[in-house]
Amino acid sequence: ASYHDRDGKVSYRSPGIDLMSTPTDESLRPSIAQSERIRRQIFAAGDIQTTRRLINEGYYLTDETFSAMLKYSGFVPEELVRTYSRGFRRFFQGDPVSGLYILTPLLEASIRHVMKGHGHDVSTFDASSKTQQDMTISRLFDGLRPELVDVFGENIVTDIENVFLSQPGPTIRHEVAHGLMSDGVPFGADSTYAC
């Protein structure tokens, strides 16, 4: 099977399933991605959007509302509480474009924050220039996957991969980071789930 981007370029290929042999993980990825997409649609429409609407009907939300909660979160670095608050406020108030574009890049910072808190080195060292850089989310998932699973659990790590990083999933992080997301996508179920 091949998957195409909005310009018609092949962005992902998956081997077919040979019914005479045991399927490989790679050959099952499209089926898993489709099942996960359906699960996210049900969860986004049934739980997230319903809860978001009920909260908005009963309460006036401000950045301070979210800051009061997020300052106690082990997932949100102290220096990003206000930015996270703004992202959640925008999302909850019905501005998924702002919510998605604010919150998506923060996921990487939060993962590094939690991993550092558990004693893991989340940086790389370039010996030639003698500089040190924070790992990107892709490098974290490629190089520290067992450590991520140890800290977050297999289900959360797999969910982040399926939503933000891996094809044939929605690759939210890639779409946001590289300006590839069309105007309607932030209003969809995958984006709602990502927020």
Res 8: pLDDT: 74
Instruction: Indicate the helix (H) or strand (E) that contains 3.
Output: strand 2-4
Q: DSSP readout, 70-123?
A: HTT-SSS-GGGHHHHHHHHHHHHTT-HHHHHHHHHHHHHHHHHHHHHHTT---E
Mean pLDDT of 185-190: 95
Encode pLDDT of 6-37 as tens digits.
Answer: 777 777 677 666 666 777 677 778 888 889 99
pLDDT above 70 coverage of the chain, percent: 92
Model confidence at 132: pLDDT above 90: no
pLDDT band of residue 176 (cuts 50, 70, 90) is very high
Res 11: pLDDT: 72
Encode pLDDT of 94-108 as tens digits.
Answer: 999 999 999 999 999
Q: CA–CA separation, 22 vs 167, rounded Å?
A: 22
Q: CA–CA separation, 82 vs 136, rounded Å?
A: 22
Encode pLDDT of 61-87 as tens digits.
Answer: 999 999 999 999 999 999 999 999 999
The chain-wide mean pLDDT, for the chain, equals: 90
Q: CA–CA separation, 15 vs 13, rounded Å?
A: 7
Q: CA–CA separation, 182 vs 136, rounded Å?
A: 24
Q: CA–CA separation, 146 vs 151, rounded Å?
A: 9
Encode pLDDT of 37-65 as tens digits.
Answer: 999 999 999 999 999 999 999 999 999 99
